[in-house]
Amino acid sequence: MKRTPFVLVKDEDITRRVSPNMELVNDLLMNRIKPATLSIGRYVEGRHPLLTRLALGLLRKKLDKLNHNISPVTAARKSSSVTRPNRVLLYRLP
């Protein structure tokens, strides 16, 4: 932005206001969505084991990436104000 003609008007840290929402999303993922998907996965695996193994084999990389992104350690690190502050930057043309 320093190489553009835009001028900084506002630079505000909104981390404290956003962190309750991040905690809510983390709680929803860890305590509602993840257990439900694991339960559905066990049910489908019991009913269709061959199809489940085939699907898991094809989707392994995507599932590993998704599991890493919603792990509690990653979620806690992402919501931390020290490692990842949330800011609003407002620019205008002079």
Please indicate, yes or no, if residue 23 is contained in any of the structural domains.
Answer: yes
- The mean predicted confidence, pLDDT, of the chain is 83
User: Could you tell me what percent of the chain has a pLDDT over 90?
Assistant: 28
Please indicate, yes or no, if residue 71 is contained in any of the structural domains.
Answer: yes
Confidence of residue 82 (pLDDT cuts 50, 70, 90): low
pLDDT at 78 over 70: no
Residue 16 structural domain: 7-92
pLDDT at 68 over 80: no
What pLDDT was estimated at residue 1?
84
User: What size, in residues, is the chain?
Assistant: 94
CB of 11 within 8 A of CB of 83? no
User: How is residue 44 written in tokens?
Assistant: 């489908």
Integer distance in angstroms from the first to the last C-alpha of the chain? 14
Please indicate, yes or no, if residue 2 is contained in any of the structural domains.
Answer: no
pTM of the model: 0.55
- Count structural domains, the chain: 1
What pLDDT was estimated at residue 7?
93
Please indicate, yes or no, if residue 1 is contained in any of the structural domains.
Answer: no
Task: Look at the alpha carbons of 59, 65, 68, 71 in this order and tell me if their dihedral is positive or negative.
Answer: negative
